[in-house]
Amino acid sequence: MTPEQWQILVTLWSSEKELNQQDISHLTLKEKQTVSRIVQRLERDGWITREMDPGDARSFIIRLTPRARKQKDEVVNLLYSRFFTMINEAITEQEQETLLRLCKKLRRKFNDPA
């Protein structure tokens, strides 16, 4: 799974409402054509389905398949594991601590309490 596919799946898993490709494009800050290609691959691989949007015949509602719902935790854990492995291989523990400190500083600056 590519980072782009992962981003769209996370967007769908996180949404409380149905999304069309334009919504996904807006939420992921990706061009509509890029989202269209990624959605086609996700559909081909069995992660999502596309259904005609009853409110707009030019648009498709993107839905997670039962497989995508069932494997969410497994996929999230696997990808986080890969992500942290890549970080550990790319930067030292001291650099990681510096990065974390700087990220926290930015969050405080932007008033994000998390």
pTM above 0.75, yes or no: no
φ and ψ at 67, to 5 degrees?
-60, -45
As given in the structure block, the two tokens for residue 108 are 């405080």
φ and ψ at 81, to 5 degrees?
-60, -45
Reported as type and span, the H/E element at residue 30 is: none
Query: What local confidence, expressed as pLDDT, does residue 66 receive?
Result: 96
Q: Distance between CA 45 and CA 107 in Å, rounded?
A: 36
Reported as type and span, the H/E element at residue 48 is: strand 48-53
Q: pLDDT under 50 in the chain at which residues?
A: none
